[in-house]
Amino acid sequence: MGTVKQFRPVPEPGAADAAPRSGTATSLSVRSVDLQYGGPQGTLALDRVSFEVPENQFCVLVGPSGCGKSSLLYLIAGLHEVTNGTIAVNGKQVDEPGRDRGMVFQSYTLFPWLTVRENVEYGPKRQGMDAATRRAIADRFLAEVGLTQFADHHPSQLSGGMKQRVAIARALANDPDVLLMDEPFGALDSQTRGVMQKLLLRVWEHSHKTVLFVTHDIDEAILLGDRVLVMTARPGRIKADLLVDIPRPRSMDMVLEPEFIALKRKIIGLLHDEIDEEH
């Protein structure tokens, strides 16, 4: 096992934005982003949030409830507008939804009237791909998530974990540059959640997509991530940027390793400080 590196404090709001890791291309850039609801006198949800995610990195966001983690994902997805600041994917500024970003929500958001295969084909179909090409793409990703035999089923015939597998396959079928995941396993029971974590690790190790993943589960954050960004209580800021210096491939039994426990203790301490300050 590797050693756990000390966390790297993030500069105070307004400080120069951190550069991406040396020798890596920046896939996602968030610079001095504010989000305020209700006009100038309204609620400040995010305050000068800045970070960059290198290409192919699995980056995880954790923070207290209500700190703006999901709101930040929605901004990156182009589903809401920033109040101030900029967001860019591969150097292109985000101002609307685009196929360079794939989104997987906690709720399954599948089209109930379409079959599993048709749900996965939806993006390629909208891109104008012919039937044979999009079927090949769908079948590839259904095999990747272990749902080949359910291709002709409808979502109502699937379990929660299976629906989320379809949602992941559908997002990947668009071949996004960045995959955004908003607590995708939050509604699942613990056993199914563990299965889905292992599945996601396997799929990511094959695709090496750039991932920004939101979770409340610290074990999940460490198990999945190359890096964990810890947010403050509202208004959300980046409080700490932690490298997960634990070798891959990873397995569930790593939660008992000293390196894992040490990093978990560090994250819990950072979050508890935020909760204590809030109250």
pLDDT in tens, 39-79: 777 899 999 999 999 999 999 999 999 999 999 999 999 99
Does 3 map to a domain?
no
Both 241 and 169 in a single domain?
A: no
Can you give the pLDDT at residue 252? 86
Both 190 and 226 in a single domain?
A: yes
| Radius of gyration of the chain, Cα coordinates, nearest whole angstrom | 19
Integer CA distances (angstroms), 207 to 86, 136, 161, 220, in order: 27, 17, 20, 19
Does 94 map to a domain?
yes
Are residues 84 and 32 in contact, defined by beta-carbon separation less than 8 angstroms?
A: yes
Does 65 map to a domain?
yes
Report how many domains make up the chain.
2
Can you give the pLDDT at residue 251? 87
Both 20 and 83 in a single domain?
A: yes
Both 140 and 182 in a single domain?
A: no
- Residue 265: strand, helix, or coil: helix
Indicate which CATH number applies to the domain containing 36: 3.40.50.300
Does 215 map to a domain?
yes
CB atoms within 10 A of CB 240: 18
Both 21 and 94 in a single domain?
A: yes
Both 154 and 193 in a single domain?
A: no
Does 127 map to a domain?
yes
Both 127 and 44 in a single domain?
A: no
Can you give the pLDDT at residue 41? 78
Are residues 183 and 106 in contact, defined by beta-carbon separation less than 8 angstroms?
A: yes
Both 238 and 134 in a single domain?
A: no
Both 265 and 192 in a single domain?
A: yes
Both 131 and 45 in a single domain?
A: no
Are residues 12 and 51 in contact, defined by beta-carbon separation less than 8 angstroms?
A: no
Domain that holds residue 231: 8-100+177-198+207-278
User: What are 44's strand-pairing partners?
Assistant: 36
Both 45 and 68 in a single domain?
A: yes
Does 1 map to a domain?
no
Tokens standing for residue 216: 């409340």
Are residues 271 and 63 in contact, defined by beta-carbon separation less than 8 angstroms?
A: yes
Instruction: Dihedral sign for Cα 178, 182, 185, 188, please.
Output: negative
| Residues in CB range of 266: below 8 A, 6 or more apart | 4, 7, 242
Does 2 map to a domain?
no
Per-residue exposure over 43-79, b if at least 16 CB sit within 10 Å of its own CB, e if not: eebbbbbbbbbbbebbbbbbbbeebbbebbbbbbbbe
Report the predicted TM-score, pTM, of the whole model to 2 decimal places: 0.88
What is the Cα–Cα distance from 217 to 223, expressed in whole angstroms?
10
Residues of the chain with pLDDT under 70: 1-24, 276-279
Tokens 């989320």 locate to 164
Does 266 map to a domain?
yes
Both 162 and 185 in a single domain?
A: no
